[in-house]
Amino acid sequence: MTVLGAGLILQLALAAAAVIIAFTAAPALRARATGIPVTLLALAGIVTGAAAMSGATGGIRLPLALPTDPLILAPDPLGGLFMVIVSAVGVLVTTFGIGSATGPASSRTAWAALPVFLVGMQLVPAATDSVSFLLAWEVMTLGSTVLLMADHASRASVASAGIWYSAMSQLSFFLVLAGFAVLAAATGGTSFATLATVEPGSGAANLAFLLFLLGFGGKAELVPFHVWVPRVLPEAPSHVSAAMSGAMVKIGVYGALLVCVRLLPEAPPWWGILIMILGGASALYGILQASVSSDLKVLLAYSTTENMGLVFLGLGASVLLRSSDAAAAADAALIAALLLAVSHAVFKTTLFLGAGAISHATDERNLDNLGGLGVRMPWTAFSFGVASLGAASIPITSGFVAEWMLLQSLIHGGRLNGEVVSVAASVAMPLAVAVIALTAGLALLTFVKAYGIAFLARPRSSAAALAREVPPLMRVSLVLGALAVLALGLVPGPVAAVVAATFGPQTALAAAPVGLNGVALPGIDAVLDPTMLLVLSALVALPILIVIAVSARRHPARHSALPWGGGGSRARPRMQYTATSYAEPLVRVFDDVLKPSRDVQVTHVGESRYLVERVTVQQKVSDVIETRLYRPLLNVVQRYGVLARHAANGSIHRYLTYSFVAFLILLIVVSL
Amino acid sequence: MIWAAIVIAIAQVAVFVVLAPLVVGVMRQVRARLEGRAGPGVWQPWRDVRKLLRKNPVRAQGSSGMLRAGPVAVLVSSLLLCVLLPLVGTIPFDLIPSDLFVIVSVMLIGVVALALVGLDSGTAFGGMGSSRHMTVAALVEPTLLLSVYALSIPAGSSTLSLIVQARLDTPEIIISPVSVLAIVALAIAIMAETGRLPVDNPGTHLELTMLHEAMLIEASGRDLAWLELGSWLKLAALLGLVANLVVPWGVVTDFGAFALLLGTVTIAAKVLVLAVLLTVGEVFLAKVRLFQVPELLAGSFALAFLAVTASYLVA
Amino acid sequence: MSFLGLATLIRRGGRIAEPAPVAPPLFPGAEVFGGSVQVRFINAGGCNDCPAEVSAAFGPVYDVERYGVRLTPSPRHADVLVITGAVTRNMAEPLRRTIEATPTPRFVIAVGDCALTGGIFADGYGLAGLVSDFVHVDLEVPGSPPAPDAIVRALRRMTGR
């Protein structure tokens, strides 16, 4: 029995035990009683994944008799890395969920679905053939759908979210299934090793690539399949949205990496360009929608679209550069994409858990009603703040190193030894840099808005004024997440080396540690040591702090009752800038893309048109892709559905006619 | 090599901490003389900072530690810019190269800290300034990155020190069309980022026209001193960068006592000349409407993008 | 105005500021400012003549900025409060808030007869008091309205230049 085999069996056993405990434990103990085996399940996932990354081999065979290649779960180093990522997210999420899940989110079904969801996510990267991959995928989808629907009895929007989520996840499942089917038909087997023998450049390879890109892209929240994201993630319980956004979308990324690195490694340039276009569009659209959103969870949900867009942008750049033989830059772009995914898993989980903590303390999701939480919830403020810095790619966080690496690979990717790599690269690289720069700037605005409006200034509602810090267990997961964001940012060298090694010995040379755990990219002559930057800042800050210490004693501060707002006597906290007002310049600048709808209603006093009693202003920014693309399509489908109802109207005579005609056609076809 | 880098870094910080208020003083004095006034003298900003450090700050109840920590972060970010940019010399730190994304990110630390200080003020003024400032910063970042990218292509590296070095070695690239386009785009982006006309009027008293000043309204005493000094340092450092990209001679490339002295004197002279030119230009400009600023920035982005694609396709 | 028009105006205008008179003595306690004073101007009520004279003092002819004095929009940045007009009922609370918002060390200059004695509004129904009823006045500039020279002299006593 190998280590990997034991680990996989342990995970399945713990999942089964957790499901049984969820159904049998007393309600008061259910959360903790189920939470413990689920946390152990996640920890087992981390250990198994780490073992796979360090080169251990082995696995288990699923005892299902199907007319395909044998169903073997045996994670390779890349699968091991993703197993570690989703398991780590699982640990944070479960620890938080034990404290935060109350009411319907703590029901038997909800707690039974959590281990199902987590074990599905942890086993997808372990699959070595398409059937076990799809089985684990569906287990993951089933678990997440049940978890999402936890609150459906009390809110109608949850039911609608459930429908959208099921439809979109089944759509991506069918696309992935179709992709595997095309490859299986072309190569005659279902295991990944067999599927990889498809002839590069053939019609089957191209078709399969397109299907895979759309299927995995949909799971990874890319445009135009992102429409489920702003509906679903806010409606799920907080720890579930954290798991979905932090871990589940990584499975989509894993699928895309599987396709690009293992199944179809020989890629023509247009594949890379297509991935880059999809990624770039998602990044821009996602962050634009996030920056104008006032609902904290919708903001975080759209921000995931942006980050996944950047991951796919890096992946596409890697595919494009490799097809033009710029191997060093291609490797760097691939490692950058993976680092982006890893850092996103950490900071997005922390952000969603922080939003969950805010929701737990104030029952509010709308940023316009929050404020002043920094002094009332210091631990949450710290964790959310550090994670926001990571999301905005500010130095010494993990997001900064990943984005730096991506930019380096793109800037150096256009030229190889002074020669232009290809015309496509010459246009794609500058465009990609421009897209990354714009999304980075907008991400900065988005997270300054999210943190500043929620945690700084004064409370804008009584709910925010009465907020208190969350219970200790929730604090632990929040702070762990924040520390992980900082840790990954301060030791990028070893992390990048480990990540590079998962792709194989050739890519392992692309990133190396240097200096104080800094990272060096030898192939493209780039070096960065964030710890040195921290040391430098400390040295620079020292004289300032000395001056402050001296000055604070000689010129002590005085506390005044009011902030300076013009001296008016009717100033109130409600007059502060809100999230909607913060984003208003952006809505104006980008109103062609966002197409906000504005409604102004003026109620006059009685008969006089000169006196105004009330003015109501409503501004709504809805998802343009949903209104312009999905609604018309759904309307068309609905109309055909109504027409089709005439064909199946319940009349037995009509059905007998159909059977008779079908039988006739069958006889004719058989006799030909 | 590391000692040379450390000495040059210390020299850069020391020179620019003295130079930055002087640059602002010179700008105000030139503007005063052009307007027919006598002006307070070029050392007035220094007197302002000295006085601010002698005042007792007033902080509203309910304000968080951001009002204390934010200004320090702004100043640290500007000082880091002075350390990392090739101002007096082009000898970089090996482990923290003055790579374009690192420089822009360090600058953005200050931008974010200032925006958060503005939001923490708890009034509509601070939030308004913060919102406008972040919108401009978001729209300026593509131009900044793309223009330095365009400048990096002839030099073969995105490290600013090496770009300046390459321009010293082959001066013809300074007047190449690609370089001119990129410098113009960079200059417009820097003027927007540092809050100069026509994007922002640093001398305005009308809160509804403020971008940068609105975020400072709540700060007093030493908090205000750090914020003012931080923004002056950022302006001076970025002017120094543009000066070194256009006229790189005098920068220290081989470390030596005389070279260091020459480098210090030349950068001070270049920055002051550029500041005077900037002020003379500003006298003829009026602040544009806030919602026309994105058009201006889009224009500078188009120039930078043109520069990058031209350098790929031409070279 | 066109570029050329403005350039010609600057060239022909030359120096508009009048030569500086003899410096008045430094106000005791104002040494801490070291020659740099930010002024927050408050018009508490009145006929608006004094604000016009203050604005003339800051204009190019009298140019009080050359002595290190600058107007600032926020009282948090201010060292000296220049208050004109008798304090009306609507401006009483804003005046109190502005004074409270100004960091110490700070000084108050009351400009004009209305601020000092109430002037022609002395028994008016809309008055909440005189400036000295709200804050200790350090320097008085009498006149209705005082000439800009007197205002400049008072401000120069704060900077010592």
pLDDT tens-digit profile of B65-83? 899 999 999 999 999 999 9
Is C18 touching A (CB cutoff 8 A)? no
Q: What is the mean pLDDT of chain A?
A: 90
Does the pLDDT at position C123 exceed 90? no
Across the interface, which of B34, B54, B220 has its CB nearest the CB of C32? Answer: B54
Check residue A566 and give its pLDDT. 84
Residues present in chain B in total: 315
Strand pairing partners for A366? A295
Beta partners for A60? A73
Backbone φ and ψ of B133, nearest 5°: -65, -45
Compute the average pLDDT of residues B31-40: 92
Instruction: Encode pLDDT of A575-628 as tens digits.
Output: 899 999 999 999 999 988 899 998 999 999 888 888 999 999 888 888 888 888
Structural domain total, chain B? 1
**Are residues B39 and C16, on separate chains, in Cβ contact within 8 Å?**
no
The strand pairing partners of C80, in sequence order, are C39, C107
Average pLDDT value over all residues in chain B: 91
Q: How confident is the model at residue A524 (pLDDT cuts 50, 70, 90)?
A: confident
Residue A88 has pLDDT above 70, yes or no: yes
pLDDT of B145 reads 92
| Contact between B140 and B192 (Cβ < 8 Å) | yes
Q: What is the mean pLDDT of residues A393-421?
A: 84
Q: Looking at the domain that runs over C3-159, which CATH code has it been given?
A: 3.40.50.12280
Q: What is the pLDDT of residues A224-274, one digit of tens each?
A: 899 999 989 999 989 999 999 999 999 999 999 999 988 888 889 999 999
Most A-contacting residue of B72, B101, B220, B290 (CB-CB within 10 A), to test interface: B101
Helices (H), B121-256: 124-155, 160-169, 177-193, 221-246
Which CA distances in Å does A210 have to A261, A315, B312? Answer: 15, 15, 30
Q: What is the pTM of this model?
A: 0.93
Establish whether the linkage from the previous residue to C105 is cis, with ω within 30° of 0.
Answer: yes
Residues 6+ apart with CB under 8 A from A244: A144, A148, A232, A233, A236
CA distance B190 to chain A (A): 15
Closest alpha carbon to A291 in A464, A455, A456, A439: A439
Give the separation between CA A513 and CA A490, rounded to whole angstroms: 12
Whether residue A441 and residue B128 make contact (CB cut-off 8 A), yes or no, is: no
C74: pLDDT strictly greater than 80: yes
More confident residue, A421 or A308: A308
Beta strands in C29-117 (DSSP E): 37-43, 69-71, 80-84, 87-88, 107-111
Task: Give strand pairing partners of A615.
Answer: A602
**pLDDT for position A456:** 92
pLDDT at A417: 66
In whole angstroms, what is the distance from residue A621 CA to residue A594 CA? Answer: 7
pLDDT at A515 over 80: no
Q: Which amino acid is at A121?
A: M
Q: How far apart are CA A565 and CA A390, in angstroms?
A: 32
Query: For residue A83, what pLDDT is reported?
Result: 95
pLDDT at B315 over 60: no
Q: Choose among B38, B50, B220: nearest Cβ to C77.
A: B220
Reduced to 3 states (helix: H, G, I; strand: E, B; else coil), residue B216 is: helix
The reported pLDDT for the residue numbered A609 is: 84
With bands split at pLDDT 50, 70 and 90, how would you rate the model's confidence at A390?
Answer: very high
Whether B200 and B210 have beta carbons less than 8 Å apart is answered as: yes
Alpha-carbon dihedral sign for residues A336, A212, A637, A163 = negative
Q: CB B55 to CB C6 under 8 A?
A: no
Task: Label the pairing between strands C80-84 and C107-111.
Answer: parallel
pLDDT of residue B3: 85
- Residue A301, Cα to own-chain centre: how many angstroms? 7
**The residue to which tokens 């319907």 are assigned:** A104
Residue A518, helix vs strand vs coil: strand
- Is C73's CB within 8 Å of B207's CB? yes
Query: Where would I find the beta strands (DSSP E) of A492-554?
Result: 512-514, 518-521, 526-528
Q: Could you count the other beta carbons within 10 Å of the beta carbon of residue B257? A: 8
Identify the band that residue A162 occupies on the pLDDT scale cut at 50, 70 and 90: very high
| Domain boundaries, position B154 | 2-314
DSSP A513: E
Are the beta carbons of B56 and C79 separated by less than 8 Å? no
Which residue is closest to B13 within chain A, CA to CA? A540
Could you tell me the pLDDT band of residue A426, with boundaries at 50, 70 and 90? confident
Do the strands C37-43 and C69-71 form a parallel or antiparallel pair, or are they unpaired? parallel
Q: Which two tokens mark B199?
A: 């994007």
Q: Which pLDDT belongs to residue A418?
A: 65
Write the secondary structure of A278-326 as one string of H (helix), E (strand) and C (coil).
HHHHHHHHHHHHHHCCCEHHHHHHHHHHHHHHHHHHHHHHHHHHHHCCC
Residue A49 corresponds to which tokens in the numbers above? 């994944």
- A576: nearest CB among B83, B124, B156: B124
* Type of residue at B73: A
Burial A601-634 (b: 16+ CB within 10 A, else e): eeeeeeeeeeeeeeeeeeeebebbbbeeeeeeee
What pLDDT score does B219 carry?
Answer: 92
- Report the percentage of chain A scoring pLDDT > 90: 60
Peptide bond into A513 cis (omega under 30): no
Residues of B in contact with A526 (CB under 8 A): 99
C55's tokens: 């604005």
Interface test with B, best of A340, A416, A439, A444 (most B CBs within 10 A): A444
Taking CA–CA distances from C79, the nearest residue in chain B reads B55
- CB < 8 Å & 24+ apart, contacts of B28-35: B30/B276, B30/B279, B30/B280, B31/B279, B31/B282, B31/B283, B32/C63, B32/C65, B32/C66, B33/C15, B34/B279, B34/B280, B34/B283, B34/C10, B35/B283, B35/C10, B35/C16, B35/C60
Q: How far, in Å, CA of A302 to CA of A234, rounded?
A: 11
Residue A505 burial (CB count, 10 A): 8
Q: In chain B, which residues have their Cβ closer than 8 Å to the Cβ of C7?
A: 284
Report which DSSP code applies to A144.
H
- CA A172 to chain centroid: 16
Type of residue numbered A68: T
Q: Which of A341, A371, A349, A401 is nearest to A526 (CA)?
A: A401
Inspect the interface and report whether the beta carbons of C100 and A569 lie closer than 8 Å: no
In eight-state DSSP terms, residue A672 is: -
pLDDT confidence of residue A526: 83
**Paired residues of C42 in beta bridges:** C83
Q: Closest CB to A569: pick one of C76, C93, C101.
A: C93
Structure tokens at A365: 């999701």
Q: How confident is the model at residue A60 (pLDDT cuts 50, 70, 90)?
A: confident
- Torsion angles phi and psi, residue A354, rounded to 5: -65, -45
CB-based contacts of A205, cutoff 8 Å, min separation 6: A183, A186, A198, A199, A264
Average pLDDT over every residue of C1-20: 90
- Dihedral sign computed on CA atoms, order B210, B213, B216, B217: negative
Which pLDDT belongs to residue A528?
87
Say which DSSP state B252 is in.
B
CA distance C130 to chain A (A): 19
> Residue B285 and residue A220: Cα distance in Å, rounded?
48
| First-residue to last-residue Cα distance in chain C | 36
Interface touch C97/A562, C-beta < 8 Å: yes
Grouping H, G, I as helix, E, B as strand and the rest as coil, residue B90 is coil
Structure tokens at A640: 């055909």
For residue range B80-113, what is the model confidence (pLDDT) as tens digits? 999 999 999 888 777 777 888 899 999 999 999 9
Q: Looking at the partner chain, which of B105, B130, B145 has a beta carbon nearest the beta carbon of A452?
A: B130
Q: Which of B167, B79, B68, B63 is nearest to B119 (CA)?
A: B63
DSSP tag of C30: G
* pLDDT reported for residue A278: 94
